[in-house]
Amino acid sequence: MSGFSDAVTAALAARGVIVDDDGFHQLDPGFQGDRVVTQAQLDVVNANMGIKRAYSKVFVSWTENFSYTVQRMLSGESADMFSLRVVFYLRLHGFALDFFKIYSKSIEEGRRNAGSQRTLMKVVAVVEAMLGELLEDELLYAEYRRHVDAHIQQGAYEHRWNKKEKKPLTRFTSKLTGKTYHVDDLSRRIAAVLKVGEEPVALDLAGRVAKHLPYLVSSVRAFCGQ
């Protein structure tokens, strides 16, 4: 058991909570002090522990799938490039947005033990390097493709009417660039990226991020303890 885990176990014991052999939290029947939690609260923590363990496995397989998808795209051997492109943009968007959203507090405030924090920051470094391969307009296009592949319509990219404020809505805020654009400017930027065609764009982007994927897979495995 690590020093960090020892410290956590000791802190829990001081509050009348013990950790059993399977890692689940239970009330200490021999505790004499004032209890600050109930077993019902601990049951919620225990239930989520299984889910969090599953999340780690999903994160690893999800990353490996991203790498495999890029390999298939660049091999030129797939007869279904469309499906590979869908997965590519969904996974790329997930790393660009979901990853940072999930781990934002740990990244900004260092809310992990030293070893875990180091492995997390290695993942961050690889993801940032990978995203750095894309220009601003390419990030906007990748974000747009994610919306196209996940939703039947893309209303956020259209001129809309705000019924409450009784005025037009013509602005779009990108979650990938953090900037706000007029939808007409956004359309021009996306069209400029697409001049060469959807498949050449996807292959170009995949080719640029490919060199980072072996490091991404290994760092995510290390972070998830696999």
Query: Has residue 112 got a pLDDT over 80?
Result: no
End-to-end CA distance of the chain: 17
> How far is Cα 76 from Cα 122, in angstroms, rounded to an integer?
31
Please state the φ and ψ torsions of residue 181, each to the nearest 5 degrees: -130, 150
pLDDT at 106 over 90: no
* 211 class by beta-carbon count within 10 Å (0-12 exposed, 13-18 middle, 19+ buried): exposed
> What's the pLDDT at 81?
93
Tell me the pLDDT band of 46, cut-offs 50, 70 and 90: confident
pLDDT of residue 207: 97
Check: CB of residue 85 under 8 Å from CB of residue 74.
no
In Å, how far from its chain's centre is CA 142? 15
- Mean pLDDT, range 110-136, rounded to an integer: 88
Mean pLDDT of 162-183: 92
Mean pLDDT of 6-24: 78
Beta bridge partners of 162: 167
User: What is the model's pLDDT at position 88?
Assistant: 97
Q: What is the pLDDT of residue 116?
A: 83
Q: Give the pLDDT mean for 27-46.
A: 84
Q: Which of 7-11, 13-17, 110-114 shows the highest mean pLDDT? A: 13-17
**Domain boundaries along the sequence of the chain:** 1-37, 49-223
Q: Is the pLDDT of residue 121 over 60?
A: yes
Render pLDDT for 152-169 as a digit per residue (tens, 0 to 9): 998 889 999 888 888 888
Give the pLDDT score at 78. 87
Distance of CA 7 to the CA centre of its chain: 29
| Mean pLDDT across the chain | 89
Given this model, what pLDDT does residue 1 score?
46
At residue 9, does pLDDT exceed 80? no
